[in-house]
Amino acid sequence: MHGIQLGGDFAASRRDRTVIDGDALLDQRPPRVLFTFAVYTAIAVLIASLAAVLVIRHNVEQNSMQKVSEHTRFISSRLIPGELKTSDWESTLRGPELKRFHTVVKRDLLTDGVVRVKLYNADGLTIYDSQGTLTGKPFGEADELREVIGGKSISAVKNVNHEGGSGTDRKSFESYSPVRYPDSNRAIGAVELYTDYATAAGSVRRQAVPLTVALLLVLLGLFAALLPILRRTTRALAIRNDALQVYAGDLKEHLRGRAEIEERLRHTIEDLERSEELLAVSQEETILRLSIAVESRDADTGSHIERMGRYCALLAEKMGWGNADRDLLRIASPLHDVGKIAIPDSILQKPGALSAEERSAMEEHAEIGHRILAGSDSPLLDLAARIALTHHEKWNGSGYPNGLAGEEIPVEGRIAAIADVFDALTSDRVYRPAMPLDTAFEILTEGHGTHFDPTILDVFFASIDEVIAIRSSTETAPEPIRDGSPKRRRRTRSAGEASSADSSSDEDGGIQSLVG
């Protein structure tokens, strides 16, 4: 190995610092990780060895205790019933019977580590003690004896002689087992054996020590096998670590420069967003002022422009349009009559009914407005062009300029038609004063399914409180509703009212001439 060279476009200026002398690094001492590994491995070996000793010791102890318990059960079920009669359990053993049984105990029981034998009858009386110190005395642990008489064998590790014995106490296995005779299912008494712990569990050391040594040797061998591999690995890691340190320095410098670029980009984006917001506001204001300029020739004010946009936006909201689409409709709809800029003042401001020729000239404003607005890449102007062209179309196909019917009419044109007619009916015109709200509502109802899209008109009437609130916020309503809510029914007009309406009607059924 002659070296490792790292680099990149961003680190070209520092390439000379990325060349690392691998041979020199191989001659260096292994990094501290090797020492750490050795220390932790030694600790792990010691802990594992200690754990192994404890586990083996515990297992051997449990195994020895189980053997002692089995030996005690064998004595209680086989040997004692053959040596003692049931009557011998009524009181302590005495005389020849005691001497004979004691001989049997010394010959057959006090072997293989058994150091003491005691017998208890069901009343808790010690009828026999191989050491003789407790014979005739009551058993001190009545609850434990009741468990044994009930059929439970008990084993534990205790010190012998703590119950009146003589000599030095020594660690022993204490084991209890119930004594039953073949002709009875009930235990007549219990036998207790003390077995020397060192004798019974002597195999603990014999088994634990070799296994612990073997485990220790295996772990040390594994450590010895892994040590060369670890040395090579840590040396390679040291080389790579130094190279990465250089690489990290270059990367940090690169990221610092990149962060500066991103910060400048963020400021640029913020400036663009502010510019877009200003442009949108400027665009909306330009459209509003253009709309006002057009409407001012028709003897109206900017209030109609504002209400037109807000009525359309309200209906779009109730129909489930999104915020962006509603805003476009609110800004575009005031341009619905932009084509009137080409209509002579003599027609726009005529106080009386229009002649057929004048009516035809007035109707041209829809197509003129479309030609003014169409052809733009702006979604806003494109929407305004469709509204200008179609807001005088009727649901039954009798409108102008193209006689579209039903859903052939763009939905924005159908919305604008309702908003435009309602505001025109409730506003002062040169040829008539503003109508009361309930009269305007009845005229709109008459156009349900003929002049207007019935579904959108239903939405309009369902939102009537909000419609009135919009009108009230821009101009005082002409007259309050007399019945509290709009009545969607035809009412019987007086002769004067009919004459007035008929005099202002034309071939469009009365509404068109009222709107203009």
Q: Looking at the predicted structure, is the pLDDT value of residue 188 above 90? A: no
CATH architecture of the region 297-515: Orthogonal Bundle (1.10)
In order, the DSSP letters of 473-507 are HHS--SS--SSSS---S--PPPHHHHHHHHHT--T
Fold for the domain defined by 33-201: Beta-Lactamase (3.30.450)
Confidence of residue 214 (pLDDT cuts 50, 70, 90): confident
Highest mean pLDDT among 1-15, 375-389, 488-502: 375-389
Classify 428 in phi/psi space as left (phi over 0), alpha (psi -120 to 50) or beta: beta
| 217 vs 498: CA distance, rounded Å | 119
d(CA 415, CA 413): 5
Residue 354 is classified by DSSP as: P
Q: Distances from the Cα of 127 to the Cαs of 84, 135, 515, in angstroms?
A: 11, 6, 127
Q: Is the model's pLDDT at 406 over the cut of 90?
A: yes
Neighbours of 286 (CB within 10 A): 10
Q: pLDDT higher for 291 or 264?
A: 264
pLDDT exceeds cutoff 50 at 383:
yes
> Reduced to 3 states, what is the DSSP secondary structure of residue 1?
coil
Single pTM value for the model: 0.45
Averaged pLDDT score across all residues of the chain: 77
pLDDT tens per residue across span 129-154: 888 888 888 887 778 888 888 888 88
Q: pLDDT tens, 459-471?
A: 999 999 999 999 9
DSSP string, 290-324: HHHHHHHTTT--HHHHHHHHHHHHHHHHHTT--HH
| C-alpha distances out from residue 463 to 331, 459, 470, 479, Å | 21, 6, 11, 19
The two tokens of residue 160 are 């012998």
Residues 6+ apart with CB under 8 A from 23: 1, 2, 3
Q: Which pLDDT score, from 0 to 100, does residue 264 have? A: 80
| Closest to 366 (Cα-Cα) out of 393, 339, 386, 345 | 339
Residue 160: φ, ψ to 5°: -75, 155
> Exposed, middle or buried by CB within 10 Å (0-12, 13-18, 19+), for 120?
buried
Q: Where are the domains of the chain?
A: 33-201, 297-515
Contact indicator for 508, 352 with CB cutoff of 8 Å: no
User: How much is the pLDDT for 325?
Assistant: 95
pLDDT score, position 208: 63
What Cα–Cα distance (Å) separates residue 152 from each residue in 144, 145, 275? 9, 9, 93
Query: Would you tell me the crossing angle of helices 464-474 and 302-318 to the nearest 10 degrees?
Result: 160
Predicted local distance difference test score (pLDDT) of residue 469: 94
Range with lowest mean pLDDT among 13-17, 102-106, 395-399: 13-17
Return all residues near 238 (Cβ < 8 A) that are at least 6 apart: 25, 28, 30, 31
Percent of the chain residues past pLDDT 70, beyond the cut: 74
450 near 509, Cβ under 8 Å?
Answer: yes
The string of pLDDT tens digits covering residues 227-267 is 787 777 777 777 887 888 888 888 888 888 888 888 888 87
What's the farthest any 2 CA atoms get from each other in the chain? 154
Please state, as a whole number, how many other Cβ atoms lie within 10 Å of the Cβ of residue 353: 13
